[in-house]
Amino acid sequence: MTKKLLVTALFPALATQVSAINIMLDFDTHSSTFFDNATTGAAARAAVQQAADDLSAAITTKLNAISAGDAGYKNTGTDQSKSVTLDSTIGYTNPNTGATISGLTPALAQDEFKIYVGARSLTGTTLGQGGPGFIGLGAGGSGSNTGTFANAAAAASAASTADMGRGSSIVAGTLSGTIGGANYSTTFAPTLGNLWFDNDNSTTWHYNHNLVPTGTDLYSVALHEILHALGIGTYDAWTNQVSGANWSGANAIASHGTGTGLIDGPGAHIAENTMSARLSDGVMQEVVMDPDIQVNTRKELTELDLAFLRDLGWETVTVPEPSSTLLLGLGSFALLLRRQK
Ligand SMILES: [Zn+2]
């Protein structure tokens, strides 16, 4: 099988972009895995880093910085003698051990989305797993639960969402509750994620993303798992647009022509064998977010993968594509509209 080498600069037009998401990888917990191996470690980390860089370049959403500790994660609302304080926390899964690391209040830089990367033994044919981290919210109040107490809770909610929402419209999750009869709620933008790869010698990994893959391509699987961390198959915004095998999001429907049958059975992936145009050259390829990948195969980001991200609320690059496939699709659509009149 002959495969073209991956083009290293996928998005050369982005040089003028001033700000976009910055996916930062943390390999600190990677010890005793192939990321730590003297022979494979450098190439393995570089492949995952390239996947993160390619997604960082494709996503134009800006995320505000969050200050560490109380300055960023604790918000108090007051009204007269009443006050409500909301304590937000975030966390992730240790990618090597599966241990839950929660209750964190770290500083996050402008546009930073940090992903903890590792490896562990995965059963069956599973190559990797990825997802967003955890969010937590606690509430406390002073003053009685009458009169302006609800105003204090509302003010705390607004202040908390302003910080944790990071000034963006992309929602990783919302936590809410009641205190003293008053409702509170905080909406969280993406902050942390986690992903891990199979590490029990049942998978023959291909590490070097600059070479034609001979084995299971780590770069391709990394793209897939990072997209899970960014919400595909995981955020509420995903679940809310899935009904059985059908997708209701407008961007993916526009890209694919229909949302009917576009979702894989268990509901966390694009349907098996779905094709879309690669960003790099417009050639049709199986999407990154279908459930599996063949050996000796590299996947690159496709237009449909990005369309799903836009349906989740992410802003992405638009694909500069004078491809005949796309023009034909538009022509067919226009014809269909005329027939309906
Ligand atoms: Zn998956």
Separation of CA 227 and ligand 1 centre (Å): 8
Separation of CA 341 and ligand 1 centre (Å): 41
Separation of CA 233 and ligand 1 centre (Å): 8
Rounded Cα distance between 231 and 225, Å, is 10
Question: What pTM was estimated for this model as a whole?
Answer: 0.87
Quick one: which H or E segment has residue 46?
helix 41-58
Q: What Rg, from alpha-carbon coordinates, does the chain have?
A: 22
pLDDT digits (tens, 9 = 90+) for 18-63: 568 999 999 986 667 899 989 999 999 999 999 999 999 999 999 9
Q: Token digits for 167?
A: 């000034």
Rounded Cα distance between 229 and 51, Å, is 13
Separation of CA 214 and ligand 1 centre (Å): 21
Rounded Cα distance between 312 and 172, Å, is 9
Separation of CA 271 and ligand 1 centre (Å): 11
The pLDDT value recorded for residue 143 is 83
* Domain boundary assignment for the chain: 17-230, 243-341
Beta bridge partners of 81: none
Separation of CA 228 and ligand 1 centre (Å): 7
Rounded Cα distance between 283 and 254, Å, is 18
Separation of CA 236 and ligand 1 centre (Å): 16
CA 231 vs CA 64, 98, 102, 111, 129: distances in Å? 18, 19, 19, 16, 13
Rounded Cα distance between 73 and 169, Å, is 19
77: CB partners within 8 A, 6+ apart:
83, 84, 85, 151, 152, 153, 154, 155, 156, 157, 158, 159
Rounded Cα distance between 176 and 196, Å, is 30
Separation of CA 335 and ligand 1 centre (Å): 36
Separation of CA 252 and ligand 1 centre (Å): 18
What one-character DSSP code corresponds to residue 319?
P
Separation of CA 287 and ligand 1 centre (Å): 12
Separation of CA 322 and ligand 1 centre (Å): 30
Separation of CA 180 and ligand 1 centre (Å): 42
Separation of CA 71 and ligand 1 centre (Å): 36
Separation of CA 173 and ligand 1 centre (Å): 20
> Rounded to 10 degrees, what is the CA torsion of 19, 23, 24, 30?
-170
> Rounded to 10 degrees, what is the CA torsion of 177, 182, 187, 193?
-30
Helix (H, G, I), strand (E, B), or coil: what is residue 76? strand
Count of alpha carbons within 13 angstroms of residue 69, beta-carbon side: 0
Rounded Cα distance between 155 and 161, Å, is 10
Separation of CA 154 and ligand 1 centre (Å): 38
- Written as one string, the DSSP assignment of 116-140 is EEEEE---TT--EEEEE-EEEEEEE
Separation of CA 231 and ligand 1 centre (Å): 11
CATH 3.40.50 fits 17-230, yes or no: no
CB atoms within 10 A of CB 123: 8
Tell me the pLDDT of the chain (341 aa) as tens digits: 233 333 333 333 444 445 689 999 999 866 678 999 899 999 999 999 999 999 999 999 999 999 999 999 999 999 998 999 999 999 999 999 999 999 999 999 999 999 999 999 999 889 999 999 999 999 999 887 677 899 999 999 999 999 999 999 999 999 999 998 899 999 999 999 999 999 988 999 999 999 999 999 999 999 999 999 999 999 999 999 999 999 999 999 999 999 999 999 889 999 999 999 999 999 999 999 999 999 999 999 999 999 999 999 999 997 654 443 333 333 223 222 222 23
